[in-house]
Structure 1
Amino acid sequence: MPTDEQQLSSSTNSLKRKRESHKKSTDSAEASTKRANYYLRTRRKKLRSLVSIESSPSKKSNKYLVLSGIILIGFIVFVWKNEQFRDELKHVAMNQFQMYLHGRENYCDEPFEHWHIANVLQHRIIGQETVLESIDQALEQHESITALAFIGTQGVGKTLTLNLIQEHFQWHLNIQQYIWSLIQSPEKQLDYLLRIINGLTTCGQNGIFIDSIPIKHVETIAAFNAKLFAHAKENNIKLVVIYAFQTNNPIIASQPVPIDGVKSIIFRQFDSNDIHNCITMESERLKITLPPAQLNDLLEDIDAKRHGCKHVASRIARQDIQDF
């Protein structure tokens, strides 16, 4: 059995351990409290710094906003009073818009490049030197309205000439093309053509190309042309219009088309020499070499006065397929 002294010593040691344990828990609690207070102080400092940072730029931004407003108002007043500067600014803005929309500056006001069309026709049209000179002269003198009427028998280059002018017309978005129908009545086709007039624009030149018109419908075209001219003059619209008439009568094909304000371009009838030149040109274009025997067969088979060069390309291609 433990003595009284041992019991007293055990009790004393137990009491010391409890005191030390209590002290440690107290110290731990105080440390936790200190850390929490430090964390709160740090957070408050950060929040105050953020508030000060956000508030200072707002004051600066307000100053900049007021200054920008004053400058803008001054610029508006300057533009309003300076008419020359306002016109120049409008011109620059319009050029930038045309560059974005059409890919070219000054799209609406650029000059008509008639020389480019003349060069193309010179290299593609055969046997119609007088016609090419008349077309070049008419386009060179073009200012606001130029109307041409192509007349001639089949296969003499009317449609090809019209298509080449249309293809190289520099205002591509302003092109109106129509091929005369042998099925619809002239009245319905006139109604359609009159609707074309409403689509004309004052930006650049307008091109109207009407092909394969039977010569018997010349009065219908004359009625359309009169309304077209009136509308163009009233609205300051610039245009080039070309009518291609068809006839198998060589006498009618050699006479001017009776339409007011329209210049007639008469295509001469072809002969065997023209057909030979046509075959040579089309063979080179198609990259086909014809033997002399086949060339002679084509020359004998093609009626120059009746068909001209109308089907030369297709016949050359057919000869090449047969040989293959």
Structure 2
Amino acid sequence: MYQIPKFHPKKMAKRRRKLRSLIAQKAAECDEKTSSKIPIFIGCVLLIGLIVAVYLSNISTSMIWSDFLTTYRNQYNLIVHGEKDYCLPSIDREKLFSEIRKKVLNQETALSGIELQLRNDSKFVAIAVTGASGVGKSLFVQEFRSNYPWQENIQTESWSTYNIEDHKKQIETFTRHFSECGRNLIIIDNLEPKDVDFIQGYNRFLHENVLKQDSVSLAIVYVFNIVTYTDEQRANYTDNLQLLMQLENVRIIEFRKFNSNDVSECIRHEARHLNLTLDDGDFDEISKLIDANRSGCKNVYSKVLMYGKRRNL
């Protein structure tokens, strides 16, 4: 006799789940094939639209490509640097010099002169920073470099009169590494007035090279030290300063000489910076050890470290 098969709810449920899974898998495969075609379809439409736009208008493909690259660079700079106009060569002078003035003391005239030169949006700006020892030139360069908006554009060289051939090679290296984004910065340090003739040709080469490149701008800072350790050197100070005036296309910025009042302010500033205290006796002792005419504030830092006492927290 024929027997009716027994009904197993669990087996039926399992079969239904398997069936639903197969249906869902097939549907997903169809959706995947369809979705993979969508970007291709959109890309084709955009490409056709671009070709039609170029054909129907007088706009060249190079112009459209240039606009695309400009938009791309702006978006890249916005993401990476936080500024859409990062590559514009204009410098936020107020922000830059507010940081410099926190460290460089009593040289407001010199700093204002440099700031004024950087207002110049011409392709080539050359500044010669000069003055006696210990008046803030090296500190200015350090802070200027640290706060410069295009860090990747900075190139430096420490000058040596005995190494002229290497300097000629170095200048060619500088020009090969110029960037079209922002303003390039070259700092030439350790110069003396006797180096003027070499720097004249150096500066002329850079000036001409920058003018040849449409999208390149350059600021160069020459740092000249007029030594004043001896009476003879101090007597020749003005003559050495006049020697620098021979430089063409270079703005000469003199950091003024310091006096005893400037040294006193330097001592207080360094003590605050180092979080040290000085009693009146130690302060007077340091003041006596520093010769403002000879070395400005150059030795203040080491003397404050020697005499200062750690503040109580």
Coarse TM-score class (shorter-chain normalised): 0.7 to 0.9
Q: Which runs of 5+ in 1 are unaligned?
A: 1-26, 32-44
Segment drifting more, 50-59 vs 213-222: 50-59
Distance 2:36 2:121 in 1: 59
Q: Whose Rg is larger?
A: 1
Alpha-carbon RMSD across the aligned residues, in angstroms, is 3.6
Do structure 1's residue 247 and structure 2's residue 226 form an aligned pair?
Answer: yes
Do structure 1's residue 169 and structure 2's residue 145 form an aligned pair?
Answer: no
Out of 143, 148, 159, the position equivalent to 2:122 is: 143
Do structure 1's residue 73 and structure 2's residue 50 form an aligned pair?
Answer: no
Task: Note the C-alpha offset of 1:317.
Answer: 0.8
* Secondary structure, aligned partner of 2:249: coil
Distance 1:211 1:85 in 2: 44
1:17 counterpart residue number: none
Kindly report which structure 2 residues correspond to 1:20-39, keeping only aligned pairs within 5 A, or say none. none
The question of whether the paired residues in 2 share the 8 Å contact of 1:194 and 1:224 is answered with: no
Change (3 A) 1:306 1:192: same
2:13 counterpart residue number: none
Do structure 1's residue 293 and structure 2's residue 284 form an aligned pair?
Answer: no
2:91 counterpart residue number: 112
Change (3 A) 1:296 1:265: same
Change (3 A) 1:296 1:166: same
Do structure 1's residue 204 and structure 2's residue 182 form an aligned pair?
Answer: yes
Higher helix share: 1
The question of whether the paired residues in 1 share the 8 Å contact of 2:159 and 2:189 is answered with: yes
The question of whether the paired residues in 2 share the 8 Å contact of 1:153 and 1:253 is answered with: no
Aligned-residue sequence identity (percent) comes to 25
Task: Note the C-alpha offset of 1:274.
Answer: 1.0
Q: Deviations over 1:86-143 (max 9, x none)?
A: 6554322121233455453222126311222222233322222221221121112343
The question of whether the paired residues in 2 share the 8 Å contact of 1:148 and 1:265 is answered with: yes
- Supply the AA of the counterpart residue of 2:71: V
Do structure 1's residue 216 and structure 2's residue 203 form an aligned pair?
Answer: no
Task: Note the C-alpha offset of 1:299.
Answer: 1.0
Change (3 A) 1:142 1:292: farther
The question of whether the paired residues in 1 share the 8 Å contact of 2:258 and 2:292 is answered with: yes
* Secondary structure, aligned partner of 1:265: strand
The question of whether the paired residues in 2 share the 8 Å contact of 1:151 and 1:253 is answered with: no
- Supply the AA of the counterpart residue of 2:192: P
Change (3 A) 1:242 1:58: closer
Q: TM-score, normalised by structure 1?
A: 0.74
Distance 1:169 1:278 in 2: 25
Task: Note the C-alpha offset of 1:241.
Answer: 0.7
The question of whether the paired residues in 1 share the 8 Å contact of 2:86 and 2:182 is answered with: yes
Q: Deviations over 1:67-99 (max 9, x none)?
A: 546523323325535648765543221212334
1:178 counterpart residue number: 157
The question of whether the paired residues in 2 share the 8 Å contact of 1:126 and 1:278 is answered with: yes
1:124 counterpart residue number: 103
1:5 counterpart residue number: none
Distance 2:43 2:268 in 1: 73
2:69 counterpart residue number: 90
Do structure 1's residue 280 and structure 2's residue 268 form an aligned pair?
Answer: yes
The question of whether the paired residues in 1 share the 8 Å contact of 2:157 and 2:188 is answered with: yes
